[in-house]
Amino acid sequence: MQRNTEQYLVELLQTRNIKPTAMRLLVLKCLVEAGETLTLRQIEDILYPADRSTIFRTLSLFEQQHLLHSINDGSGSARYEVCHSHHHSNDDDRHPHFRCLRCGRTICLFEQRIPKVDLPEGYQVQQVNYVITGICPECSTGATYMA
């Protein structure tokens, strides 16, 4: 099933126990179709004239239900991406991200895994943020990308 069909999006919400409202479907479709991480501002621009606070509440709900990742890539704005984890209550889709210093995009490196870190006894991981910075292939070959 294609990832941007309404049936797929409804099922994705339902597997995370999220009621599929019209706004939730719009936000999820926006994130799925983007193919890369998006900031709240970028989502607002795509879904204009949708209300910013409604979009933010939707993103917060998605994050609470492990439907999306929030990434701090050092740019000053949180970025969001859909989590394709196999468990609705656990994130088994952890992967690094690459932030291009030239165009500003943050790309998911799905093929890579975040190395396991053995923490001292008593420490509990809540979130892992693994961001690599550099120049993406499009920028290093001279191709232009509109961020």
The strand order across the sheet containing 106-108 reads 106-108, 97-100, 131-134
The Cα–Cα gap between 80 and 63 comes to 9
Task: Give me the pLDDT at residue 94, please.
Answer: 74
Question: Is pTM beyond 0.85 here?
Answer: no
Indicate the domain borders of the chain: 6-140
Residues facing 132 on adjacent strands: 98
Residues facing 41 on adjacent strands: none
Q: Which CATH class is domain 6-140?
A: mainly alpha
Task: Give me the pLDDT at residue 80, please.
Answer: 93
Q: What stretches of 3-137 adopt beta strand conformation (E)?
A: 38-39, 68-72, 78-82, 97-100, 106-108, 131-134
Average pLDDT, consecutive stretches of 10 residues, N- to C-terminus, the chain (147 residues): 80 94 96 90 96 96 91 88 65 77 86 86 85 91 60
- Alpha-helical (H) ranges within 35-76 are 40-46, 52-64
Task: Give me the pLDDT at residue 47, please.
Answer: 97
